[in-house]
Amino acid sequence: MVFAAREMTVNYQQLMAQLSDLGEAKGAAADDAIKNLKETHATSAGLKAFCTWMCLNIIDQCRQSLGGHGYSAYTGLSQAYSDFAVHCTWEGDNTILTLQCGRYLVATALEARKGQPLPANLAYLQGAVSKSGAVDTKPCVGTSATAVSALDTLKAAWSSVAANAIVSAVRDFEAGLAKGLSKDNAYEFSSASRLHAARMHTYTYLLHRFAAQVEQSPATLRPVLTLLAQLFGAHSAVQHSGEFLQSGFYTGAQVETLKTFVNDACAQVRKDAVPLTDAFGYTDYVVNSPLGRYDGDVYEKYFELVTSLNPQKPIPYFDSLIRPLLERTNESELGPELEFDQE
* Cα dist from 301 to 162, 308, 311, whole Å: 46, 10, 15
Is 91 labeled as catalytic in the residue annotation?
yes
Around Cβ 8, how many Cβ atoms within 10 Å?
17
Side-chain-side CA neighbours of residue 39 (13 Å): 21
Catalytic residue among 39, 91, 111, 337: 91
**Beta carbons within 10 angstroms of residue 272's beta carbon:** 15
H helix intervals, the chain: 2-22, 28-65, 68-71, 77-85, 94-113, 145-148, 151-178, 183-189, 191-216, 222-239, 241-247, 252-270, 273-278, 284-287, 298-309, 323-326
Is residue 205 a contact partner of residue 163, using CB atoms and an 8 Å limit? no
Q: Which long-range contacts (CB under 8 A, 24 or more apart) does 248-253 make?
A: 248/137, 248/139, 248/160, 249/137, 249/138, 249/139, 249/140, 249/156, 249/157, 249/160, 249/161, 250/139, 250/140, 250/148, 250/157, 251/139, 251/140, 253/143
Buried/exposed code over 115-134 (b: 16+ C-beta within 10 A; e: otherwise) = eeeebebbebbeebbeeeee
Q: Are 3 and 28 in contact (CB under 8 A)?
A: no
Residue 88, amino acid: C
Active site residues per annotation: 91
